[in-house]
Structure 1
Amino acid sequence: MKLTRRKFIKNMVRSFLGFLGLSGLSYYYAKYIEPDLLTVKKFSINHSKIPKSFHNVDILQFSDTHIGFHYDLNKFEQLVETMNQRNPDLILFTGDLVDEPQTYSFTDRLPALLNRLEAPLGKYWIYGNHDHGGYGTEKIYEVMSRGGFTLLQNEHTSIQKEGESFTLAGLDDVMLGRPDIEETLAQRSENSFTLFLAHEPDIADQVQRYGVDVQLSGHSHGGQVQLPIYGYLVTPPLAEKYVEGHYRLPDGMDLFVSRGLGTTRMPYRFLCRPEFSIFRLKSPEI
């Protein structure tokens, strides 16, 4: 009998749970300890098109909080404080704020916490599949807007500093939205350094054809559970080729994929700590 993808994933999950069952300590670690072991990934982005005024500018990316699924607002408040301590110049959220918008009990606390995040060059976000899912499109937009974030949905903007600028573009979610790469980059100056936000990383194979310099993504959770030798236990659709970290694509585009912060489907992280990322821009003119 042919083994379907769904059955394969279920078998792998059962195998992992059996693996954890061999050791109560392993289970406890994966469910209660590692999901709280927040890490900060630091990268330098060196590019000939980065203007002089943006040298040493810090961009903070966070992704996939999945609030409501074993990630509550107390944890999110701690995250906000930790991110503010990094004094980012620009903050970017790459999707999946709440795990199930249709069942989550929204309060004023969530937009208030988002509003506490500070970045002099602005705060921007894009939709993830969970943001569109469960009829959450309008609600998540309302929460993020009240939190001081600007949505980029198949559009781009110009980030300005001391009379110079670069292009920040955001794609609608690939799985449940209406993504349009051409529309997103329409009338963009090709000479402008372009930073592209896309929730699902595997779309990078298409994005790189448009002269984009850097893509930031999430969605993968880094596999969420990694096993020695085997590697990633489960990766979601459109995050199966590019799962975590930095990739240099054939056309010269750099792709960075975040493991994200929360969990989904399974409340475990194993050998795959949650993270947010800081990118320091480097200009060749300095």
Structure 2
Amino acid sequence: MAKTVTRRKFIKRAFVAVFTCIAASFGAIFYAREIEPKLLDITTYPIKNPVIPKGFEGFKIVQFSDTHLGFQYDLKQLKRLIDKINKLEPDLILFTGDLMDAPNKYEDTDKIVLILSQLNAPFGKFAVYGNHDHGGYGSDIYKDIMSNSGFSVLLNESRRIELLDHSSIYVIGVDDAMLGKPNLSASVQNVPDDAYQILLSHAPDLADEAATFGIGLQLSGHSHGGQVQIPFVGALITPPFAERYHEGFYEVGGAAPLTLYVNRGLGTTRLPFRFLSKPELTIFTLSSGDLNE
């Protein structure tokens, strides 16, 4: 015989269910605002390509991106990040844009320089512009900070990374797609066709064009991995030029595809939340092995 539910018990159960939903919602909001943005995923990936010279076997590259200083990410977090990067002993350090959320409103630019100057990499530190680096009349501010911190800001240009045995790879930097003037043709102008090329582009979706230039690896940011991801739905926020590619690895192009990696970045923008999209620091180790190994 089925048990009858009294009106009192029904109201009590309904109240518990509603209260549980409200508590879960507030808990999720607290986690997304106060906890996940302060977490850090350190991910390591091998990059295999027969075009990579054998002298670069085990060559370690660290990518960081999208700090958005001044919105939610602060200088203490940046200092801890730099300490972590230095402990990894990278050969090369690459920053893929959006240093400050609003460059013309950020007052402690000298402190940023002091912190970023502590980064060490024997083969150099390179950076490109993000949309926020150009925004708020920030282009010159960003360039001064990065240059004074020992970074080379690549604006539609390339740099050769050469070992003692004279083998080399190239790092290419293209301007931001939203507020800059990206020019891939100019960027690769002085790069030999048979060289292994690493492209820095803040905007991931430039990969479709970059794949036509014989580029081996593109590193991007901008998307924050969607910043908020909904289970079974995916990324909640996909900004312009990060609508097709917004997190992790992609193979773009035909027979010899470009490998694209989209870093989730470190800070937040617009909304001070991260959910299922933790901040990320990425390490790549080069290998001349076959792509199919």
Normalised by the length of structure 1, the TM-score is 0.91
Q: 1:170 Cα shift? A: 0.4
The code of the aligned residue for 1:282 comes to S
Aligned length: 267
Letter in 1 for 2:47: I
Q: Quote the residue 2:88 is aligned against.
A: 86
* Residue 64, structure 1, aligned to residue 69, structure 2: no
Question: Which residue number corresponds to residue 76 of structure 1?
Answer: 78
Matched residues in 2 for 1:68 and 1:95: separation? 15
Query: Does the 8 Å contact 1:20/1:26 carry over to 2?
Result: no
Q: Quote the Cα distance in structure 1 between the aligned partners of 2:79 and 2:114.
A: 10
The residue that corresponds to 2:197 in the other structure is 194
1:178 alignment partner in structure 2: 181
2:127 match:
125
Q: CA RMSD in A?
A: 1.4
SS in 1 for 2:136: helix
1:264 to 263, 269, 279: 269
**In 2, are the aligned partners of 1:125 and 1:152 still within 8 Å (CA)?**
yes
- Unaligned 5+ runs, structure 2: 1-20
For 1:229-250, what per-residue CA distance to the aligned partner results, in whole angstroms no more than 9, with x for missing partners? Answer: 1111111111011010000113
Q: Which amino acid aligns with 1:135?
A: Y
1:276 aligns with 2:281: yes
- For the Cα contact (< 8 Å) 2:208–2:253, is it kept in 1? no
Query: 1:21 offset after TM fit, Å?
Result: 7.7
Distance 2:209 2:260 in 1: 12
Q: Does 1:148 align with 2:150?
A: yes
Return 73-82 or 104-113, whichever deviates more: 104-113
Pairwise CA distance, 1:52: 1.4
Please tell me whether the aligned partners of residues 92 and 123 of structure 2 are also in contact (alpha carbons under 8 angstroms): yes
What percent of counterpart residues are identical?
46
| 1:204 maps to 2:219 | no
* Greater than 3 Å deviation, 4+ residue runs: 19-22
Matched residues in 1 for 2:270 and 2:109: separation?
A: 24
The Cα offsets for residues 50-97 of structure 1, whole Å up to 9 and x where unpaired, read as 111110010000000000001110111111111111111100000000
Q: How far apart, in 2, do the equivalents of 1:21 and 1:95 lie?
A: 37
The two structures have a TM-score, normalised by structure 2, of 0.89
- 1:152-182 C-alpha deviation (Å, 9 max, x unpaired): 1000010011221111100011111111110
Q: Which amino acid aligns with 2:269?
A: T
State which of 217, 221, 224 in structure 1 corresponds to 2:224.
221
SS of the residue aligned with 1:33? helix
2:161 alignment partner, SS class: strand
Using the TM superposition, give the Cα deviation of residue 25 of structure 1 relative to its aligned residue in structure 2, in angstroms: 1.3
Larger radius of gyration: 2
For residue 112 of structure 2, give the secondary structure of its aligned residue in structure 1. Answer: helix
SS at match of 1:203: helix
* Counterpart residue identity of residue 167, structure 1: Y
Return 5+ residue gaps in structure 1 as ranges.
1-18
Partner of 2:235: 232
Which residue of the other structure, out of 251, 257, 260, is the alignment partner of 1:255?
260
Opposite residue 29 of structure 1, the aligned amino acid is Y
In structure 1, C-alpha distance between the alignment counterparts of 2:43 and 2:180, rounded to whole Å: 29
Partner residue, 1:11: none
Aligned to 1:114: 116
Deviation of 1:283 after TM superposition, in Å, equals 1.8
Say whether 1:26 aligns with 2:28: yes
**Shift in Å at residue 20 of structure 1?**
8.3
Q: Which amino acid aligns with 2:284?
A: F
Q: Distance in 2 between matches of 1:225 and 1:79?
A: 22
Matched residue SS, 1:102: helix
